[in-house]
Amino acid sequence: MDFIRAIINDHMKTGRFDGRVHTRFPPEPNGYLHIGHAKSICLNFNIAADYNGLCNLRMDDTNPVKEEVEYVESIMQDVRWLGYDWDDRMFYASDYFDQLYDCAVELIRRGKAYVCDQSAEEMRQYRGTLTEPGRESPWRGRSIEENLDLFARMRAGEFADGEKTLRAKIDMASPNLNMRDPVIYRILHTSHHRTGDKWCIYPMYDFTHCLSDSIERITHSICTLEFEDHRPLYDWFLDELGVYHPQQIEFARLNLTYTVMSKRMLLQLVQQKLVSGWDDPRMPTISGMRRRGYTPESIRNFCERIGVAKNDSIVDVELLEFCVREDLNLKAPRRMAVLNPLKVVIENYPEGKAEEFEIPNHPDNPAMGSRKVPFSRTVYIERDDFMEDPPAKFFRLAPGREVRLRGAYFITCTGVVRDAKTGEITELVCTYDPATRGGDSPDGRKVKGTLHWVSAEHGIEAEVRLYDRLFTVPNPAGDGEGRDFTEYLNPQSLVTLKSCRLEPSLKSAAPGCTYQFERQGYFCADEKDSAEGSPVFNRTSTLRDSWAKIEKGGDRTKQKADPAKQAPKKVSGPRIDLGDFEKIDLRVGLVREVSLVEGSSKLLRLMVDVGEGRLRQIFAGVRPAYREPDDLLGKKVVVVANLKDREMRFGKSEGMILAAGEGSRMGVVTLDGDPKPGDRIS
């Protein structure tokens, strides 16, 4: 039981709301809903259900400048998709504009609100600071009659945007800044997506929200932590007006590792086209996750498991991944798909022959039936499933090794065909054992590996998109280094594979359908890009992969063996693993100019020719090692060429050069021989 239900239980005992529970989910239609909203949606709707109450859907649409119908439509769709129903209780704060206006007039009548002529800038200055009280506005003392008149004229459109505001008359010296005469109405000559041009004044959140809750007879107004400071104001409006008074309760919003959750940042990703849109499968939006293949059940389950509390927290995205796998494992029919095909010719299988195997759709659920999978002399297997010189724990295919082709035959690798020029393996030659038809061996002999496969002749070719985390660091929004979150975008977050081979039954996969590609993961036919007869698949999630862990584990034991590498090292910025080294683009650079950097004892400014027809400016911290900077002139150095430019105090640095050592014993790595600037080093 969470603390919110504990509070509600208490209310049930004391009878504060006559045993009634009525919540609401109040999004502002200025963006798409994300997984953080899902937490709130689940909370509000589930609590209502648990207590036999109701939950309203309400658009908090008081700022026409930012809001759009597109968003309200997507919000409704997403909430419905998650499995929640608001019946006929779809509301808009804008539905209450008339009542809200009357409440504001009433506040004026009670001497609790006034029309203020201060500009935004003046108001800011008068507000004071965190430690100093504010000063009262010179307009604070206007008579009730004058305020009434002015407010009516604000409504009538007599004033320009920003010329006047209506403010609550509370306390300019309050330690809570929200209570320093907050604005409750502002002038905005903007038409509203629902009320059109009826209004040119719009109420502010604090005023609108509590009254909307009150009008809807909400009992528990559940919101996020940052509104905790607003609760006194929430209570103030309701008390001053003497109306029905719900209880506001705040909980910690959801944060997830390896993603961002703020609407501002998500909007930025969309607008800068860093993703394909709000529903890009890498986005933490509900629509993105839907397109990625997440199920509503898995999301609801996730929201249940993360719990509700008031601690700022950042939930490990692995829990989310666990939740989809858990759900999809039960629901997804199994299929075979070779993502990275390697041709296998089965020498002793008759040419031109083909047969079909009946393979179950789910190993643990016979009720899901089976499908026929054609087999022939030439099949594709996964490139990763073959190693010419396998390490100890590898138990897939290798020269001389026998493995099972799932549901088909045992095969043994007898030969390797490679490209004459590149040496790349282009094909495997194998033999099969006809006695193992169906994948069982009559003599009881075991094979360690079972591989998925697709018949070359029968399989279909398709595009498969491998999605991964959008960011490379757990908390891109708050790395503490003041870097922009987009610097941490994961370049591998989308890998598109164009020539995958899928078993023929997948040809008719309907958009939105999810399958488990055995030994690979869960994949969902894309809703947008699939065409009749040629599906495009999105990877929802990989399967757990203990082989990948074993491979990584090898590195770890090596590290342990070398105590020198155990030295604690302070690493700032993104974590780097071995795989990242493959991404580094090292190029030969010719040093054309060297100069000292004023104001730095460590840096040299190098102008380096990297074969691009222009010189790159690179700041290198190698000054201590080169008393005569000109020594570097004309040297060929190693440049890391694919780094993001770094803005330094002295200018832009467009790369790094490799150097080693420390202090004056440091040296830049230089190259002899005749490599040309721009040559790749690998």
Asked if 553 interacts with RNA (CB under 7 A), we say yes
226 forms part of the interface with RNA (CB under 7 A): yes
Amino acid making up residue 432: Y
| 111, amino acid identity | G
**Is residue 318 near RNA by the rule CB under 7 A?**
yes
155 binds RNA, rule: CB under 7 A: no
**Residues from 2 through 21 that contact RNA (CB under 7 A):** 2-3, 6
Cβ neighbours of residue 399 under 8 Å, at least 6 residues apart?
A: 388, 413, 414, 415, 416
CA 622 – CA 595 distance, rounded (Å): 12
Task: Compute how many residues bind RNA; rule: CB under 7 A.
Answer: 91
Residue numbers 392-421 binding RNA by CB under 7 A: 393-396, 404, 406-407
**Active-site option among 253, 331, 343, 592:** 253
8 Å CB contact between 652 and 616: no
| 363 binding RNA? (CB under 7 A) | yes
- Of 372, 549, 614, 646, the one binding RNA by CB under 7 A: 549
Footprint on residues 46-85 left by RNA (CB under 7 A): 60, 62-63, 65-66
Q: Is 356 a binder of RNA (CB under 7 A)?
A: no
- Token pair, residue 651, equals 């200018």
- Tell me how far CA of residue 413 lies from CA of 402, 428, 441, in angstroms: 7, 7, 17
Report d(CA 651, CA 272) in Å as an integer: 25
120 binds RNA (CB under 7 A): yes
Q: How far is CA 196 from CA 39, 94, 200, in A?
A: 32, 10, 10
β-strand pairing of 378-382 with 453-455: antiparallel
> Does residue 284 touch RNA according to CB under 7 A?
no
Question: In the complex, what is the shortest distance from the CB of residue 526 to RNA, in angstroms, rounded to a whole number?
Answer: 22
Nearer to RNA, 150 or 306 (CB): 306
Nearest approach in angstroms of CB 278 to RNA is 18
Please report the DSSP string for 476-498 in residue order.
TT--SS---GGGGB-TTSEEEEE
Interface of this chain with RNA, residues 628 to 647, rule: CB under 7 A: none
With contact defined as beta carbons under 8 Å apart, do 304 and 323 qualify? no
Residues across the chain: 682
Beta strands per DSSP E along 225-273: 247-251
- Contact flag: residue 371 with RNA (CB under 7 A): no
Which one-letter amino acid corresponds to residue 290? R
Contact flag: residue 504 with RNA (CB under 7 A): no
Of 174-182, 292-300, 339-347, 595-603, which part binds RNA (CB under 7 A)? Answer: 174-182
Regarding 369 and contact with RNA (CB under 7 A), the answer is no
Nearest distance, CB of residue 678 and RNA, angstroms: 40
The dihedral sign for the CA sequence 72, 75, 79, 80: positive
DSSP notation for 537-602: EEEEEEPP-HHHHHHHHHHHHHHHH-GGGGS-----SS---GGGGGG--EEEEEEEEEEE-TT-SS
Write out the two tokens for 382: 């996964």
Report the residue from 33, 261, 275, 308 that binds RNA according to the rule CB under 7 A: 308
Instruction: Work out whether 252 is an interface residue with RNA (CB under 7 A).
Output: yes
Residue 61: how many CB atoms within 10 A of its CB? 28
**Residue 62: both structure tokens together:** 């008081």
**Nearer to RNA (CB atom), residue 8 or residue 588:** 8
- Taking CB under 7 A as the rule, does residue 166 contact RNA? no
- Verify binding: residue 248, RNA, rule CB under 7 A: no
Residue 611 binding RNA, by CB under 7 A = no
* Binding region for RNA (CB under 7 A) out of 70-78, 320-328, 499-507, 641-649: 320-328
- Tell me if residue 28 is catalytic: yes
Q: Residue 564 corresponds to which tokens in the numbers above?
A: 């020198």
Residue with smaller CB distance to RNA, 479 or 529? 479
Question: Cα(265)–Cα(483) distance, rounded to whole angstroms?
Answer: 13
Q: How many C-beta atoms surround the C-beta of residue 543 within 10 A? A: 15
**By CB under 7 A, residue 310 contacts RNA:** yes
Q: Does 220 bind RNA (CB under 7 A)?
A: no
Residue of 20, 89, 135, 263 marked active site: 263
Residue 662 a catalytic site member:
no
Q: Which residues ranging from 419 to 478 are in contact with RNA (CB under 7 A)?
A: 438-440, 449-450
Residue 135 Cβ, how far from RNA at the closest point, in Å?
12
Compute CA distances 190 → 162, 207, 264, whole Å.
12, 20, 22
Window of 135-143, 325-333, 596-604, 610-618 that interacts with RNA by CB under 7 A: 325-333
CB closer to RNA, 300 vs 587: 300
Residue 316 interacting with RNA (CB under 7 A): yes
CA separation for the pair 210, 248 (Å, rounded): 9
Active site (catalytic) residues: 28, 253, 263
